[in-house]
Chain A
Amino acid sequence: MLTINHLHKQFGSLTALDDISFDVPDNQITGLIGQNGSGKSTTFHSILNFLKYDGQIRWNSQPIKEADFDAIGYLPEERSLMPKLTIEQQIVYLARLKGKPAKEIRPQIDDWLKKFAVKGKKTDKIKDLSKGNQQKVQLIVTLIHHPKLIILDEPFSGLDPVNADLLKRAILEARDQGAAIIFSSHDMANVEAVCDRLVMLRTGEVVLNGTISEVRDQFGKSEIYVTTDWTEEQLNQLPHVVKVQNIRGSRFLLRLDDPSKGPEVFEKLTDGKYIEEFSQQPPTLDEIFRMKAGISHE
């Protein structure tokens, strides 16, 4: 398990990280979300020891030492490989730096290329691959040595939905093998789809931390999805409804001032009759993200 305690990082007068604390447990995927400049990459760079920082970062209760490097798989935010090497040379070189002998890695390369549907032969030069395929090779490099701590900085950026699914599958597979995984993303749908836990940073501070359901439940079930023949004006007249949003056709999203008033709204709306949809939920991660990020602009 990776434990971060009271992490603080200052760049001159700018506080990049302010008393950050959270855990990345084994066998779980932790999503690190936040707007640009919120401190996600700085957190990753601190974990990887690229920066001098205050506070504590522990891997299995010990400071991260050189001996732990082999157990780390890291995907940086921007993609970058060595363009003059072939796919095979690139994968083998970086895997050897992770302590894996070439003879162990070479036989696995074809399977990994197939798994990520990389278009090209392992003898192709990196510079001759498309951007998407280079990205996939970089993902292979991150995962091929079966790391125990996986750090992925914006892994989904630039991937189409098909390739994003391939990546999700690989991340879930690594988790099932026991790895502690942390990744940053702007796409809440991806975070919701694969994450067990969530940490949200805003201007260097943790504003959300917990399992996905814990985080969502913090905000109460203040939203109701309804499919009804009522008009928007009629819905606005309902008690405790503070906002009505037409999603599509006869489907609406109602926001309540008090989640406990859901049954009362239900009574009024149905009046004992059939209704196609009435679903009271906490806000989505996307809404929470916007809500939390929005506070900084207020």
Chain B
Amino acid sequence: MNKTLIVAMETYLRQVKSWSFIVLVLSPFILLAISLGIGYTSATSSSDQQRIAVISDQPALRKQFIKANRDDVKASVTTTAAAKKSVGNNNLAGYLVLSADKTKVSGVYHSSDSLGGGMRTKINVFLAQSQQQLNLANAKLSAKQTKSLAVQPAFKQKIQTNHGGANLAKIISFWVLVFMIYMILITYSSVTAQEIASEKGTKVMEIIFSSTKASKYFVGKIIGVFGVILTQIIVYIVGGYGFFQIAMHLDNIKQLISDNQTLVNDVIKNMLGINLLFVFLGVIIYTIISAFSGALVAKAEDAPKAAQPAIYLSMIAFFLTMPFQSNSDALISKILSYVPFFSSYFMPMRIINDNASGLEISISLAILVISIGLLTWYIGQIYEGLILQTDDTSFWKRLRRGLSYQK
């Protein structure tokens, strides 16, 4: 196997097998599972109390009602006595006794509380429909007359695209996106910088550099860390989708999503596509600079503070986006959308606000990709000098020496 891949594999496996990674990846799911579990338990424990029983001496009529209102009826209760008992024990909201003779369909609801508006409407609709069927049957109409009576009034809804809704989608997309980039960067800047810094000046690096070129080792490390980031993102996407599917079984969440379907679709659309590419590339360039700052620490013991330069840079970019969130076509915003390290925040912001053309996006992407390539190449060249240098001089002195190192 290629030595770069051996290093990448080793870095990747060591990270994903670590407890810190497992906890990092699983903790949101555990929290979600707990909150969903609590929601589900409270929903199921209270649902019986909100349901009703339907009692009727006409099985077809009862069956028809249950079919139309499956979620609201506890079908297992079939007798008046059982229904009374359940209501008495507070296990049912009440029971509906349905009856019909040759001309009239009637329903009597028994309960200790008055019927809620929703359920009352459902019962009324059912009774009205059943009564109408009975009336039609009793009227003995011809097929043509029946057909004429079946004609329904036309009602259509034409929803104008709401400008306010679109704006809300942009604001939500912006915040979700910048927070996503920021959180990933903060987490992995530390992971990467510490991973590299912990090797600083150690003699095992001399053994490794006697086995493979430092530049290959550096690229392997970056690929390994990127694999870890990708794994986390994939686990979040797959797990998030899974949880979404489960959550959709909970009525209130289902209702919430369907009430805001357009908004949800807009946000998802803004998150995916070219913006996701900017997120990935942003993560890569920050990972590289984190590795560089990790290599610049004085010694392995300083690993915990190794990520600081990369984190500060990320924070500056993050906070700079704030004033431009509603003003993304300002000149500074336009300029920064081309500058690597900043473009991962600013260009997606411009894309979300529809003020970046395809050409502008392509140019920004090209600059970012080229910068990643050049930065990787350059740091790869000086990496050996950075890692093997162990003198405890000032950060700037080390940076200057690192930058001027050439074999």
Contact = CB atoms under 8 A, between A and B. Distances in A.
Interface residues of B, number: 21
Nearest to A48: B210
B10 interface: yes
Nearest to A70: B211
B204 A74 contact: no
B208 A94 contact: yes
Interface string A66-93: 1001101010111111101100000001
B203 A48 contact: no
A14 interface: no
A72 B210 CA distance: 7
A50 B213 CA distance: 10
B406 A69 contact: no
B3 interface: yes
A275 B312 CA distance: 83
Given A93-B6, A96-B6, A50 B204 contact: no
Contacts of B14: 84-85
A14 to B, nearest CB: 13
A265 to B, nearest CB: 51
B203 A94 contact: no
B388 interface: yes
Interface in B1-26: 1, 3, 6-7, 10, 14
Contact of A69 (B1, B202, B203, B212): B212
Given A49-B407, A52-B407, A84-B14, A94 B207 contact: yes
Contact of B211 (A51, A78, A85, A98): A98
B206 interface: yes
B211 A79 contact: no
Interface in A179-209: none
B210 A74 contact: yes
A4 interface: no
A126 to B, nearest CB: 10
B243 interface: no
Interface in B181-215: 202-204, 206-213
Given A66-B212, A69-B212, A84-B14, A74 B3 contact: no
Contacts of B202: 80
B203 A76 contact: yes
Interface residues of A, number: 27
**Most chain A CB atoms below 10 A, which of B209, B388, B406:** B209
A85 B13 CA distance: 11
B209 A48 contact: yes
Nearest to B214: A50
Contact of A96 (B1, B207, B210): B1
A180 to B, nearest CB: 15
A141 interface: yes
A221 B121 CA distance: 121
Interface in A222-270: none
B20 to A, nearest CB: 12
**Most chain B CB atoms below 10 A, which of A50, A81, A142:** A50
Contacts of B1: 96
B12 to A, nearest CB: 13
**Most chain A CB atoms below 10 A, which of B204, B209, B210, B388:** B210
B204 A80 contact: yes
Contacts of A66: 212-213
A97 interface: yes
Contacts of B212: 66, 69, 97
Interface in B30-45: none
Nearest to B1: A96
B203 A97 contact: no
A135 B166 CA distance: 65
Contacts of A142: 207
26 contacts: A48-B206, A48-B209, A50-B384, A50-B388, A51-B407, A52-B407, A66-B213, A69-B211, A69-B212, A70-B211, A72-B210, A76-B203, A76-B206, A76-B207, A79-B203, A80-B203, A80-B204, A84-B14, A94-B208, A94-B211, A96-B1, A96-B3, A97-B6, A97-B7, A97-B211, A142-B207
Given A48-B206, A93-B6, A97-B6, 19 more contacts: A52-B406, A52-B407, A66-B212, A66-B213, A69-B211, A72-B210, A80-B202, A80-B204, A81-B204, A84-B14, A94-B207, A96-B3, A96-B6, A97-B3, A97-B7, A97-B208, A97-B211, A97-B212, A98-B211
Interface of B: 1, 3, 6-7, 10, 14, 202-204, 206-213, 384, 388, 406-407
The 7 closest A-B pairs by CB, nearest first: A80-B203, A76-B203, A97-B211, A74-B210, A80-B204, A76-B206, A80-B202
